[in-house]
Structure 1
Amino acid sequence: MPRVTTVLRNTRRAIQDLDLLKVLQSEITHEHSSNRFQDKQNGSLGDFVLDWDSPQSQDVVLRKKCESGEEVAVSALLGPETFKGESSFPREALMKVCIKKPGLSSILQFDCGVSSKGDDGSELDIHNAYYIPSSTSLDSSIYKAPSYSSLDPHLQDELKNYLVSKGIEESFTNFLLLHLHRKEQGQYVNWLRKLEEMVAQGDE
């Protein structure tokens, strides 16, 4: 009787593994055939270069040096789903933009969100703006600016124009939003393949 129970248990496990394998293979096929982000506008990096884009991480880091000597660094990753109508991309990109003037240790930092405007590209929203006296300063007494939404609308517009002048314009945000979604999809497919391989080996 114990031998029969073992056989039944092994048979049940094999059937479950086979079902899981079929579901995994179906999901992989679906991801390849859907090409959700293949027909989207690529956008452009402009003068930025990808400084960090590890296949194992969710984030990317981009940098550029302006002719004026200013250094601009951008770090970004995907945030929560946006659920904005007919959005081409399901998730918003969360982005930090840091700008450093030559010869100074102070930094301007902007916390931003980039979301899709349907088929019309991407939209940049500034959430917060900071002046950091030193890149190594952790002084809690540093004055924190008011929330960005409470600033004078004209000042908000000018801060946004300032970012555009540093290369954070629509073509760049189009590239960033598409790149991050493709990166996530690639990581998801790789994860599915690893599961498929593990289940298939266990079924042999």
Structure 2
Amino acid sequence: MVRATRILSKGRKAPADLNLLKVLQSEITHELSFKRFQDIQNGPVGGFTLEYDAPQSQDVVLRRKCESGEEIAVSAMLGPDTFAREGIFPREVLMKVCVKKPGLSSMLHFDCGVSEMDGGRSEFDIHSACYLQSATCPGPSVYRGPMFSTLDRQLQGALKEYLVARGIGESLTNFLLLHLHKKEQGQYVNWLQKLESLVAKGE
């Protein structure tokens, strides 16, 4: 009787599993055939080298050393979903930029957002800027400066030009938008394929 119950239970489950399997296979086929994030630049971008890009991670880290000895580190990851966003890229990139002068432990730290503009181009905006006395994270009592939006417009523009002069330009922001969206898509396809394999084994 127990064996018969198991067979009946499996029989009721099979149509649902078969339907799920078909849906998973359809979604995988759709994602693999959709080439929206395939145009990725290879190699260094704007003098930066890709230092960290683990397959399972959500972020990337790039570094650049200028002839002057300045070191620029960029870490970036996709921001939250913005369903109202139009264009190729559904999400913006959250980008942190650190600039360190040779022989000093202090650095300038910028929090930025990268978004898609008209014509498939990208643009970055600075959300905040602060001076850090060391690479260690400052405590909550350390003054990190005023809200960036309250700064004089000329100063805001000058700080952005400062970053652009150090390679934080359109070629880098285009790369980050493309690379991070493609990376997320690859992780999604890998997850779908694992689910497909699990459901198929159950069949």
SS of the equivalent of 1:61 reads strand
Matched, 1:192 2:200: no
Q: Distance in 2 between matches of 1:85 and 1:96?
A: 22
1:17 deviates by: 1.4
Q: Which is further off, 114-123 or 150-159? A: 114-123
* Runs of 5+ unmatched residues, structure 2: none
Q: Could you list the structure 1 runs, at least 4 aligned residues long, displaced by more than 4 angstroms after superposition.
A: 1-4, 40-44
Partner of 1:102: 102
Q: TM-score, normalised by structure 2?
A: 0.92
1:41 to 1:86, Cα distance in 2 relative to 1, 3 A: farther
1:120 deviates by: 3.7
1:66 deviates by: 0.4
1:35-70 CA deviation, whole Å, 9 max, x = no partner? 1223x5749712100000000100000001000000
Q: How many residues align?
A: 202
Partner of 2:122: 122
The answer on whether the counterparts of 1:92 and 1:113 sit within 8 Å (CA) in structure 2 is: yes
Q: Which is further off, 94-103 or 116-125? A: 116-125
Partner of 1:149: 149
Partner of 2:48: 48
Partner of 1:19: 19
Q: Distance in 2 between matches of 1:6 and 1:141?
A: 63
The answer on whether the counterparts of 1:41 and 1:121 sit within 8 Å (CA) in structure 2 is: no
* Aligned CA-pair RMSD: 1.8
SS of the equivalent of 1:95 reads strand
The answer on whether the counterparts of 1:112 and 1:126 sit within 8 Å (CA) in structure 2 is: yes
Q: Distance in 2 between matches of 1:181 and 1:155?
A: 32
1:101 deviates by: 0.2
The answer on whether the counterparts of 1:106 and 1:131 sit within 8 Å (CA) in structure 2 is: yes
SS of the equivalent of 1:77 reads strand
Aligned pairs for 1:27-176 (under 5 A) are 27-38=27-38, 42=41, 45-83=45-83, 86-136=86-136, 138-176=138-176
The answer on whether the counterparts of 1:105 and 1:134 sit within 8 Å (CA) in structure 2 is: yes
1:60-97 CA deviation, whole Å, 9 max, x = no partner? 00001000000000000000134565322000100100
Q: Distance in 1 between matches of 2:3 and 2:193?
A: 34
SS of the equivalent of 2:131 reads strand
> What amino acid maps onto 1:76 in structure 2?
A
1:41 to 1:139, Cα distance in 2 relative to 1, 3 A: closer
Q: Distance in 1 between matches of 2:54 and 2:18?
A: 33
